[in-house]
Amino acid sequence: MLICVDLDGTLLDTVPANAASYRAALEELGFTVTDEYYAERCNGGHYTRFLPPLMGGAPNTADVERVHDRKKALYSDFLDVVRPNTALMEILKTMRAAGHDLACVTTGSKQNATEVLEHFGVREWFGLIVTGEDVEKQKPDPEGYCRAMEHFRVTPADTMIFEDSGIGLTAAKASGARVFRVERYCLKSCDAGETLFARRICSRPQGSRADMESAPTVLGQGGLLYRSRAAGKPYALSAASTARTIALAMTRAPITPTASRSAGTSPSETA
């Protein structure tokens, strides 16, 4: 099985670092961008699309490239504000150990993607990294994900994708693979409060809201939890059990949680 993962906003919360480095680069030319604007309108997109509106609407190509080059140079100064999606990292680590291939597919630059993955010590996890510099068509086009499948010689049926942004989700679903959505979620019964989780999105165009609401949910930060509408209440799972649950969801097989039901159990305690 091939597991593809988006970088910005999915595997890592890089919005603060990206916004800060773009802001520093833009201010050299008399422009700026707020964290909120970047998160809402730029995250997941390609710089050739979101920079022009920030630079007066019709900047020359040289200035756009200048800002992007400066952003890439400044990015490493802000790596300390990047936060990892620890739950997703645990899942990927477990599935890699089980022999599955991992690919990172991002619209970002090769330089910055490599820097941030190395910063968190996970660069070697990925057998392939596809960046915005490696494709002709950016997300929402599925080219990046299709290239990953071609590289590993697998079909969409044998591929799962983790994404977060609207643009990225459109690309992921267009590839034909199974898609899990990563977003922020607050679960009152979880001590961590605001958490990150992955929710499977039905890849069929006719998929109903009920299909998505009944899909498996994986929550992280403070413990890996699995829950489904059928289960009713969350189960505390180890990273291995969570990975197995997702793999079973890929094949639409019956899901039988095997870990303790204690919601306070940590991943390390149940692994």
Note the pLDDT tens digit of each residue in 216-257.
Answer: 444 444 344 444 444 455 555 566 666 666 666 555 433 333
pLDDT category of residue 32 using cuts at 50, 70 and 90 = very high
| For the chain, percent of residues with pLDDT exceeding 70 | 67
What is the distance between the alpha carbons of residues 170 and 45, in angstroms, rounded to a whole number? Answer: 12
H helix count then E strand count, the chain = 11, 11
> For all residues of the chain together, what is the average pLDDT?
76
pLDDT score for 238: 60
pLDDT category of residue 86 using cuts at 50, 70 and 90 = confident
What is the distance between the alpha carbons of residues 252 and 247, in angstroms, rounded to a whole number? Answer: 9
Q: Please give the model's pTM, rounded to 2 decimal places.
A: 0.72
What is the distance between the alpha carbons of residues 216 and 207, in angstroms, rounded to a whole number? Answer: 15
pLDDT category of residue 101 using cuts at 50, 70 and 90 = very high
- Helix (H) or strand (E) holding 159, with range, is strand 159-163
Q: Mean pLDDT check: name the lowest of 19-33, 95-109, 170-184, 188-202.
A: 188-202
Residue 110 above 50 pLDDT?
yes
User: What are the pLDDT digits (tens) for 132-189?
Assistant: 999 999 999 999 999 999 999 999 999 999 888 888 889 999 999 988 877 653 222 2
